[in-house]
Amino acid sequence: MWHNLVKKQWMALTCAVLLLAGLQAEWCLAAHPVTQEKGPAILLVTFGTSVESAQAAFRTIEQRVKAAFPKAEVRWAYTSKIIRKKLEKSGTRIDSPEMALARLMDDGYTKVAVQSLHMIPGIEFHELCDNARLFGQMDGGFSKVMVGWPLLVSDTAMDKVLKEILTRVVPKERKADEAVVLMGHGTHHPSDAVYSAMMYKAQKTDPNVYVGTVEGSPSFEEIKEQLVQKKIKKAYLVPLMTVAGDHAKNDMAGDEPDSWKSQLTKAGIEAVPVMKGLAEYDAIADMWVEQLKVTIAHLQ
């Protein structure tokens, strides 16, 4: 029943998401002529994190990007105002995407590739596209500015990410009768359908692999109910996120009663968190780099 329901929801909702994303893609590139070209510069944009251990994912991304584009100017921006303010109090200043674009414009760059490091094309990605488009329309500013897609934007990308998680991220000692639960963030945007699509694909690959979300669908309650019904005794919890930040540390693996780990433990299921973000793995980080290569090519 769940399998058929998810399949129908996935097909309908994914069509809607891809339609919206396709329309939005027209806004991700803005251009007008300038007399002298400088760039392209690369702006890496993510939600951000204040968890020090999670920064390893960003370091991996930056290393892979600089290896692919050794002569390019590479800068960072966080979309989360809360994270930026928190880091500023500890002496670390990170720009918002808008401020970072303004600085690049002020520094004379005329071509900019903005690479989204988000998981799905949700609200933050579409806002990023809108604002990049507006920067590209300013007289005397950028000649071209283009936003690269997030990670999970195609059937092929979802299949590849799922394969990498099951072969590289999930511990080798995991047994066939033990569950793997991937934690996505979830969103009120139509792109939340991506998580249902990932759940559908996960179940087709391995009936003991699940995808849940903190704030969307499928919910953790749905996943927990299925684990209990199947009498699962052990489950590996894996962040379906760029970094193993606050959500992974607290909502997934925390000791509070409402964390996924605590709720599974209460249900008699041993929970084993895997505290690494997906961008810490070279093969997955390189998927964002490949998106960036396409974006750079369109700027030439």
Enzyme catalytic residues:
185
- Residue 111: beta bridge partners? 144
C-alpha distances (whole Å) from 127 to each of 8, 44, 116, 232 are 29, 15, 11, 41
Interatomic CA distance for residues 158 and 268, integer angstroms: 31
Three-state secondary structure readout of 214-283: CCCCCEHHHHHHHHHHCCCCEEEEEECCCCCCHHHHHHHCCCCCCCHHHHHHHCCCEEEECCCCHHHCHH
Lateral strand order in the sheet of 234-239: 209-213, 179-184, 234-239, 270-273
Cβ within 8 Å of residue 11, ≥6 positions away? none
